[in-house]
Chains A and B, each alone.
Chain A
Amino acid sequence: MRRVSKIAAAGVVSAALALTATACGSSSTDSGGKDKGVGMAYDVGGRGDHSFNDSAARGMDKATKEFGLKSKEQTASNSDTESDREERLDQLAGAGYNPVVAVGYTYGDAVTKIAKKYPKTTFAIVDSVVSAPNVDSMVFSTEQSSYLAGVAAALKSKTGKVGFIGGVHNTLIGTFQAGFDQGVKDTKPGDQVTDQYLYETDDRGYNDPAAAAGKAKGMLDKGIDVIYTAAGLSGDGSIQTIAGKPGTWAIGVDSDQHEDPALAKYKNQILTSAIKNVDVAVYDLIKSVHDGKPKVGTNSYNLSNGGVSLATSGGFLADVQAQLDAAKQKVVSGQIKVKSTP
């Protein structure tokens, strides 16, 4: 009995301590302040995904260092609802961060709503178009860089079988697949391309390396020797798996994954990466806001303006560089129209 009372007493006291909070009727976002620096809302995976989000982070790091700005970062999670995304942007803008960068198309509606609430703050959205006077919509022609990745894959494959792994089966990742497939077919019409996705709608596809590893293993077992993975953080899993089988190649995405220190162990089998220069777009935006002339409106990034590109680090493509340059030239000149839907 005495032991029970003791347990109860300890419990009640700690509960009382924990619950002494009182509601004060204020909002969690009205802390105020001005020009605190850059607010960054990442997509799932966040900083450290060695891919999409890291590209945005690099652009921000460069700008904040150069202009002596402060920054604040927030990251999405898989169970996010609309209110989570709005809250994240609201919090950043409300605390005085300007510009506020939303990484990923899922923020589209949230940016539309919150940009209206803070007309003096500049917002940016990656991979989506939001028409508002204070929003920079950054759209990337990733089908073009993926096309070059497809050309490289076809030229480097010894088995004539190449593979594509997408994180989530949606429109955006479809542009990567469409470009890649077309690049392969235009180069070696007889080659076989296998396209697979990790998830149909669930955005866990961007942060599930184990799933990507499984898919890559399956492809390798079927004799596929070049695999292009467009799946954010999940790509780590497929790169690791590919590195376990000599003579096969991984193609990275969004960032130059050959140069990523975290992937250094596998770099000898990272053929190239289809780079999406989110960093350039983010840097440009921060600079423009810093200069007092915010770069708003829809800004397209493609092969011709260097917004997307194919990495050459590692030098594995040196022998086929001439063919790649020719293909790039054709895309830039419009001689080849790359499809954006598979």
Chain B
Amino acid sequence: MKKFDKDRVVLGIAAPVLAVVGALIVTALVLLATGKEPFHAFDVMVNYGDKTDSQVYILNKATTYYLAGLAVAIGFRMNLFNIGVDGQYQLGAFFAAVVGGAISIPGVVEVPVIILTSMAVGAIWAAIAGVLKVTRGVSEVISTIMLNSIAGIVIGYFLQGGRLGVLDKDANMVSTKPIPVSSHLFSFKTATDPVFGFIVFAVLAGVIYWFLLSRTRFGFDLRTVGRSESAAQASGVSVKRMMITSMLISGAMAGLVGMPTLLNQSYDYGNDFPTGIGFTGIAVALLGRNNPVGIAVGALLWAFLERASAGLEFEGYDKEIVGVIQGVIVLAVVIAYELVRRYGLTRQQRQVGAELAAAGTDDKQEVAA
């Protein structure tokens, strides 16, 4: 029994490592095909990603990606594809920025108010898709994609001079009123740029995610619904309520995605606020296999690759090569896990077969005796 567990651990590690190595090989081939020398490129990536300021950057980016990964993973665990994290976090961050800019109360109170506003808005936006799904059977994939677009339009409507935005005509920039200095979140000083204080909240979110899903009845129900709706229904779980609840939680988690940028960097929501992080979150959740630690590794890897892309471009490589690596890694992860799963399955069958055969011979012996 002990030995079997060890094998499982080995199998568990083998898949992601195989995926990364496979991705590196494919990338090397792509680089060779474009007439560039691959090993120098990897060297550039590692050396560049290795510097102190790069590490700060990676941690800060990964904080955001981690939250996005968690938000997507909650849906995944329940077999819900929340493609709408992108719209949920942007809308949440936007209204949080508006609230933050409008009020001026002590930071200790204001920061939680801002965070909760963003979570609430994200949850409400996600709930629309949840309600549509349980009441009218609308696929959440379609509705969340459309809600992304609508979120963009809503923000675009309000983010104008004279509405909720402040226009800087010379700079061609529109942004919400900045959050007062007293409500800027703490950060950790380093030799170069500071590390976002929000990383603490991200870690907390990871712990809560783990606890909620694997240590509570709610988490058990959620995973049950994800595995088999009918089985969950039969055992007394209200599937509809679970769907709405998990959409709410996923949306609230998505509301956190914009917070590191808002509270630690930009302090307002302008037309330069980062977009598309929700989609990065999907890739990160896939990489991390919905596991809180795995998602963290995925987020760090993703941030490292993005950082490395700047170094590559500087050295005359095509920046797109990092996009190729990212895509290949996601594919490789899916393939590697499937391969390892199948291998594990055959091995298990063989073991069972061997045990049965052994039992069979015992029976025969009994009969013979």
Contacts from A to B (Cβ < 8 Å): 1, 3-5, 7-8, 10-12, 14-15, 18, 21-29, 72-75, 77-84, 87-88, 91, 95, 105-106, 108-109, 127-130, 139, 168-172, 199-204
Contacting residues, chain B, for A28 (C-beta < 8 A): 48, 51, 53-54, 311
Tell me, rounded to whole Å, the shortest Cβ–Cβ distance linking A205 to chain B: 10
Give the complex CA separation of A139 and B273 in angstroms: 23
Q: Are B13 and A11 in contact, CB atoms less than 8 angstroms apart?
A: yes
Question: What per-residue 1/0 map shows which CB atoms of B130-169 lie under 8 Å from chain A?
Answer: 0000000000000000000000110111010100000101
Q: Are B157 and A79 in contact, CB atoms less than 8 angstroms apart?
A: no
Supplied contacts A4-B14, A12-B13, A87-B310, 20 more A-B pairs, CB within 8 Å: A7-B10, A8-B14, A10-B18, A10-B21, A11-B13, A11-B18, A14-B17, A15-B20, A28-B51, A72-B314, A80-B272, A81-B265, A81-B274, A82-B261, A83-B193, A128-B170, A139-B170, A199-B152, A200-B157, A204-B275
Contacting residues, chain A, for B273 (C-beta < 8 A): 201
Q: Are A128 and B7 in contact, CB atoms less than 8 angstroms apart?
A: no
**Could you list 11 examples of A-B contacts with CB < 8 Å?**
A1-B7, A21-B47, A26-B51, A29-B53, A78-B276, A79-B276, A81-B274, A128-B172, A168-B271, A171-B172, A204-B276
| Residue B95 interfacial (CB < 8 Å) | no
Q: From the candidates A26, A83, A200, name the one contacting B52 in the complex (CB within 8 A).
A: A26
Contacting residues, chain A, for B266 (C-beta < 8 A): 81-82
Tell me, rounded to whole Å, the shortest Cβ–Cβ distance linking A195 to chain B: 14
Q: Are B17 and A201 in contact, CB atoms less than 8 angstroms apart?
A: no
Give the complex CA separation of A4 and B171 in angstroms: 59
Chain B residue at minimum C-beta to C-beta distance from A169: B156
Question: What per-residue 1/0 map shows which CB atoms of B275-318 lie under 8 Å from chain A?
Answer: 11100100000000000000000000000000000110110000
Give the complex CA separation of A82 and B157 in angstroms: 23
Tell me, rounded to whole Å, the shortest Cβ–Cβ distance linking A10 to chain B: 8
Give the complex CA separation of A77 and B311 in angstroms: 14
Contacting residues, chain A, for B171 (C-beta < 8 A): 105, 108, 128-130
| Residue B240 interfacial (CB < 8 Å) | no
Q: Are B313 and A75 in contact, CB atoms less than 8 angstroms apart?
A: yes
Q: From the candidates A4, A27, A80, A202, name the one contacting B7 in the complex (CB within 8 A).
A: A4
Q: Are A75 and B173 in contact, CB atoms less than 8 angstroms apart?
A: no
Q: Are B271 and A7 in contact, CB atoms less than 8 angstroms apart?
A: no
Contacting residues, chain A, for B13 (C-beta < 8 A): 8, 11-12
Give the complex CA separation of A80 and B273 in angstroms: 8
Q: From the candidates A7, A26, A78, A88, name the one contacting B310 in the complex (CB within 8 A).
A: A88
Q: Are A14 and B21 in contact, CB atoms less than 8 angstroms apart?
A: yes
Q: Are B173 and A105 in contact, CB atoms less than 8 angstroms apart?
A: yes
Contacting residues, chain B, for A23 (C-beta < 8 A): 50-52, 55
Chain B residue at minimum C-beta to C-beta distance from A3: B343
Tell me, rounded to whole Å, the shortest Cβ–Cβ distance linking A2 to chain B: 12
Given contacts A4-B11, A22-B50, A108-B173, contact A83 B159 (CB under 8 A): no
| Residue B191 interfacial (CB < 8 Å) | yes
Q: From the candidates A14, A74, A77, A168, name the one contacting B314 in the complex (CB within 8 A).
A: A74
Contacting residues, chain A, for B314 (C-beta < 8 A): 72, 74, 91, 95
Tell me, rounded to whole Å, the shortest Cβ–Cβ distance linking A223 to chain B: 26
Q: Are A170 and B174 in contact, CB atoms less than 8 angstroms apart?
A: yes
Give the complex CA separation of A214 and B191 in angstroms: 49
Contacting residues, chain B, for A200 (C-beta < 8 A): 152-153, 155-157, 159
Contacting residues, chain B, for A8 (C-beta < 8 A): 10, 13-14
Contacting residues, chain B, for A168 (C-beta < 8 A): 271
| Residue B46 interfacial (CB < 8 Å) | yes
Chain B residue at minimum C-beta to C-beta distance from A8: B10
Chain A residue at minimum C-beta to C-beta distance from B64: A81
Give the complex CA separation of A88 and B57 in angstroms: 13
Chain A residue at minimum C-beta to C-beta distance from B86: A202
Give the complex CA separation of A123 and B6 in angstroms: 59
Tell me, rounded to whole Å, the shortest Cβ–Cβ distance linking A169 to chain B: 5
Contacting residues, chain A, for B271 (C-beta < 8 A): 106, 168, 170, 201, 203
Give the complex CA separation of A75 and B313 in angstroms: 8
List residues of B (243-288) whose CB comes within 8 Å of A's CBs.
Answer: 261, 265-266, 271-277, 280
Give the complex CA separation of A14 and B10 in angstroms: 15
Chain A residue at minimum C-beta to C-beta distance from B266: A82
Contacting residues, chain A, for B117 (C-beta < 8 A): none
Give the complex CA separation of A84 and B265 in angstroms: 12
Q: Are B159 and A75 in contact, CB atoms less than 8 angstroms apart?
A: no
Q: Are A24 and B50 in contact, CB atoms less than 8 angstroms apart?
A: yes
| Residue B34 interfacial (CB < 8 Å) | no
Give the complex CA separation of A81 and B174 in angstroms: 16
Give the complex CA separation of A3 and B53 in angstroms: 41
Q: Which 4 A-B pairs have the closest CB atoms?
A: A200-B156, A11-B17, A129-B170, A105-B172
Contacting residues, chain A, for B10 (C-beta < 8 A): 4-5, 7-8
